[in-house]
Structure 1
Amino acid sequence: MVPISPVPLLFLLVLALQIQSSPQPEISSLHHPTWSLGLQLYRSLRIDGSQTNTFISTLLLANSLLALEGGAKGSTAGQYHDLLRITKHDKAVGESLTKALKSVREANGTSYTLHNSSALFSKQVAKLEKSFLEKLQTHFGLQHVALEDAQKQTDMEKLQSWAKSGMDGEETADLELALETKPGAMILANALHFRGFYHENQDLCSFLGTKYTKVPMMHRSGVYRHYEDMENMVLVLELGLWEGKASMVLLLPFHVESLARLDHLLTPDRVEKWLEKLNSTSMKQLAALGLVDAWNETSADFSTASSLGRGKLHLGAVLHWTSLELAPESGSKNGMHEDEDVQKPKIFYADHSFIILVRDSSTGVLLMIGALDQTDGPAIHDEL
């Protein structure tokens, strides 16, 4: 049973500057670069426990980072290569991201509706190469927006307005800290609103908790792929979305607890093991992952993006707005199906904190990764 989540779940990822490097751990491939980037960044964001309701669109982030890599040279470009696990002349990563984006766009309106936008904002940059901007827009789908000095809107207001427009008018999380956009600064921004549809409508039921509080839940009986990791006390449950174009994987602790323990368990090897066993019955963070030179006004080398040369452009911020909406409606117009007759059914309760993975079915791309730590409004958990 799945709780009626707040609609939508909002998260703004503002990666803070930290000019230092640390060794990157060995990481196994999960068949697409979005998995390695997503899992590394998710763990880096969650390590100190300060982030809640964390959601990242790893596909959009990987695509926009690869777009900016096209304007870099030297060690700056090399650090992008290391982060995205590509070699200097390897075109496979770019081709796989292009294929994945095409698949996701074609599936839009079936298993889910998707509103998204990506852009490169620049502040007091005299000139960007025409060829760089053309590739940015035509190949990677990034707009270029110049942040000019104006009286009507501050830079933060412009960014906030852009994000809301890109998410089709959905409310966006606020920028809590002012951005220091110095001359030559580039801001990489992504905004995404994802609304998934189930195969059939969910029944809306109310259950009584120990304190006689009514807990609204979405209920459905059927056959779902699942795996129980008894050693680590984690249930892995896959919920296929309408028409099978995408699926949502829930990582549920056996008991009510914070996600700190599960966050620590979320290594690529373990996630790969969990997914194989399913059966039917951040600037600070990015710097810590090896992307260092891009933020430094002196050492950043984006001379491919601008003829002004090294030290004239640098990355000032990476902003990432993500909204996830899960409603009880099916993607089908009637969406009404009888509960399947399941012998010896196993009951799952998603009434406490869990991790969500959303993957594209045809390419295997990790579209989103996130954690539902808490919801707004009345508590959705009470011992049943």
Structure 2
Amino acid sequence: MDDSFIPARAIKGRGAASNPEGRFETIRHHTEDDGWQSTLLDEAAPRPRTCVTEERARSVITSNDSPDIAFEQALNPFRGCEHGCVYCFARPSHSYLNLSPGLDFETKLRAKTNLAEVLRIELAKPHYVPKPINIGSNTDPYQPIEKKWRLTRAALEVLSECHHPCTIVTKNALVERDIDLLVAMAREKLVQVFVSVNSLDNHLAAKLEPRACAPHRRLKAVAALAEAGVPVGVLVAPIIPALNDMYMEAVLERAHEAGARCAGYTVLRLPWELKQLFREWLTLHAPDRAAHVMSLVQQMNGGRDYDSNFATRMRGHGVFAELLRKRFEIACRRHGFGRARELQLDISRFVPPRKPSPQGELF
């Protein structure tokens, strides 16, 4: 760690503690304490509020050709995520909005309010080829603001109506709200849900993932989905060496007991501005092990904070990465887990939505 680095103060309920400029900004701001305002600085600053802006999307289905990602299509109802996970690899995407990957990412959110309408249009295109759509590839589709906006449910209603397959990744028990839709889709092999659980420590989770459900609550969601007949898996992600890797086996055991039947994992990824934000978090919340954590992270990334190589970015490489891989495989064999996204979803049932007609629907 850089000894000259002085972080901001931790903010209860938020993962980031600062708002650094995005990589595309040309102006940099720096706060310096000259001693004159020490009394004011000691006072508790107001907590940043969540602000949601409506966005009229031009398209909602994105394509992906990364060789290390299992799905080719994705859909994200929101930009930014109120969960505030400090490790989120999607934080740097907020820079494209001229917003900070720090606090802005978890407080200044965008909701694609016309998502269902645009989704129908895209699915109705003459040359559209159905492939499973992953919901939540970038930001969590069941983050707290979904309670009000219900955009994820709107997307599921369209996909269910068209018999279009999808996968869902979330760390919020709000997914239970849509069990009625998920059960109906599961009967036709149209859906698979993955719940992310990377530790069993509520205190750690409250700092790493401040507005996500507690780990035990996510496991209850796994149990509820499995009991309802919805195929569900667990993702131990991300694994952060010397911080939460010790929970891997216990998470897999508890998830299997809850009804998960496939599992996957990824290691911590620190692209772009995320390097600074995660180092800041370590200095604030785990100063005694910050240097050790970053040393192991760098060992898995060829001596750097992050290596974007498709072949290794999800699992890392080197001695520690190999140890994680072996531990995961042994635990999966012990509990009989299949690989993540092993279920074959059915694309043959797809029926394109009818195009809107100015005459309305007669039949």
TM-score, scaled to structure 1: 0.27
Structure with greater helix percent: 2
Structure with greater strand percent: 1
Bigger relative contact order (CA 8 A; separation at least 6): 1
